[in-house]
Amino acid sequence: MAKLNPIKSYQMWINGKWVAALSGATREITDPGNGDLIARVPEAGPKDVALAIDAARQAFDAGPWRKTSALDRGKYLFKIADAIRREGQFLAELEVRNCGKPLAEAEFDVADAANCFEFYGGLATKIHGETMSVPANSISYVVREPVGVCGQIIPWNYPLMMAAWKLAPALAAGNVCVLKPSELTPITALELARIIETVGLPPGVVNIITGPGAGAGEELASNPKVDKIAFTGGTVTGRKIMVAASSNLKKISLELGGKNPNIVFADADFEAAVDGALFGAFANQGEVCSAGSRLLIEKSIHADFVAALIKKVPRVKLGHGLTPGVKMGALISADHLKKVENYIKIGISEGAKLVCGGRRPMGAEFEKGNFLEPTIFDHVTPQMRVGREEIFGPVLSIIPFESESQAIQIANDTEYGLAAGVWTKNVNRGLRVIHSIRAGITWLNTYHPTFNEMPWGGYKQSGIGRELGLHGIEAYLEIKQVNINLDETPIGWY
């Protein structure tokens, strides 16, 4: 394990300089697995955010970034990717200590962040336009240009990876950014700022501020000098950001919540589906917008499948994310733990059958952390709150179904439309069901794989727009029409 400074004081990265908050206020950052104090970071207010926005505005309007070639923009991103890989183990362990997840998952997240910067580094030179020559004696063409100043707000469940998802496409397209990580998990974003400093990005191109949504996030979403706001997080906050962004009709990208169905048919590969259901529900402690938190099981295998799930749950080893063999870590905070526990109480009161977990684990290693056992409710109905509302924790709600049409109806009976999974050996049925489900990310006979090359986002109240892939860079581009008249003869209109 890398030697990590137990308590480090950070500063924000604004206009190519490390700065404290104007007020001098700081926030203490703790390890959710044991409560240890690990860092102090500035607590930015609206004036700090305004300074970062002004720096970005200046960098875009008058700085060298707009004149930097696409080839050179890509080279910067390649350098960032290489630096992330060189420091991968350090960053992964820091991610564990900041947000609680197991080390194996954090290592994957860091690798994915590096791959994301590399993917968009290559894509920077692939931004193409269009041409046409109608009517006669004219040429018209389309160019794609950067949006401008992009405000970006990311959540606490995938801090470094979400920073990459936001920054990489925006920079590849030629934009400048003000990134605000969650006030709970800012550390790896600030370490990313250090990496950005070392690769020599011009001042103001990337600014990373730390502070709460109230004040810092609100200023970023409402400030008229910001051209676009991109947000990943809860649907309630997403609505507030839409309202704030309307002040100057900012472009918006929103990746929001989900209550995602994972459907298992009787003809599925039984063992693979059991593994997939557990991983879909309990990966990253269930703190995943795309978690398969609604497990729909065909009635003919329902009892056997639930029994198999319960038998395998003890393999989900619980503990601090840096402990070898741990498969599920701590929840992000004591407040969030209480919120999830309240949903467990709600499920019991609604009449769902608690068949597994639902308690804080016993033992000295768990006393100071925000730990919760993997929890499974059976015989959930689609009307129950535990079957409808996003819990964002290790709570799986099982809903039996009798027919394909009923499974589709239950799957679509939600305000969300982010993700869905289907398990069946009948490929025709699998594709038929997937095409009937209103969700933006779907899997057949697997759950959770994510690719930088493919679009990510949802239907309905799960968001607006897409991240990743070609769609991710399109979200950071404006389209300009240019018309050239080749006929020098006056039009003779008057």
State the catalytic residues: 255, 289
Secondary structure of the chain in HEC code, one letter for each residue: CCCCCCCEECCEEECCEEECCCCCCEEEEECCCCCCEEEEEECCCHHHHHHHHHHHHHHHHCCCHHHCCHHHHHHHHHHHHHHHHHCHHHHHHHHHHHHCCCHHHHHHHHHHHHHHHHHHHHHHHHCCCEEECCCCCEEEEEEEEECCEEEEECCCCCHHHHHHHHHHHHHHCCCEEEEECCCCCCHHHHHHHHHHHHHCCCCCCEEECCCCHHHHHHHHHHCCCCCEEEEECCHHHHHHHHHHHCCCCCEEEEECCCCCEEEECCCCCHHHHHHHHHHHHHHHHHCCCCCCCEEEEEHHHHHHHHHHHHHHHHHCCECCCCCCCCCECCCCCHHHHHHHHHHHHHHHHHCCEEEECCCCCCCHHHCCCCCCCCEEEECCCCCCHHHCCCCCCCEEEEEEECCHHHHHHHHHCCCEECEEEEECCCHHHHHHHHHHCCCCEEEECCCCCCCCCCCECCEECCEECCECHHHHHHCCEEEEEEEEECCCCCCCCC
Q: Which residues pair with 206 in a beta bridge?
A: 177
Distance CA 409, CA 399 (A): 12
- Please provide residue 300's backbone torsions phi and psi, each rounded to the nearest 5 degrees: -65, -20
Phi, psi (deg, nearest 5) at residue 65: -65, -40
Place of tokens 């959930």: 380
Q: Is-contact 159 181, C-beta < 8 A?
A: yes
Q: Which two tokens stand for residue 284?
A: 């990253």
Going by C-alpha positions, the residue among 382, 386, 316 that lies closest to residue 344 is 386
Please report, as a single letter, which amino acid is at residue 284. Answer: N
Rounded Cα–Cα distance for residues 192 and 8 (Å): 15
